[in-house]
Amino acid sequence: MCRFLYYDEIPKIDSLALPLLIAADKYMINDLANKCEKFLMLNITIGNFHEALVTADQLNKNKLREATIDSSLQTVNRFSHL
């Protein structure tokens, strides 16, 4: 988080997006929270679906919640056509 504040960079965002989103929301660092939320919306997987949905609900991140649900519905539709 300090690196973002000083350099506007987020190293290893793929492994830190959810914890960074929680911290950014807690400390009201909106730019960081928005970047993490956008990253997560584009990178929802079966492996992070549950944690992303729970975090979205806890932090009231409606766009992330909708993207997570949409992603899960697309996955279900893909598998239902097999």
Q: How confident is the model at residue 82 (pLDDT cuts 50, 70, 90)?
A: low
- Tens digit of pLDDT for each residue in 5-30? 777 778 888 889 999 999 999 999 99
Residue with tokens 């928005």: 34
Cα–chain center distance at 23: 12
pTM assigned to the model: 0.86
Domain ranges of the chain: 15-80
> Measured between alpha carbons, how far is 28 from 24 in angstroms, rounded to an integer?
6
Q: Does domain 15-80 have CATH number 3.30.70.260?
A: no
- pLDDT mean over 44-70: 95
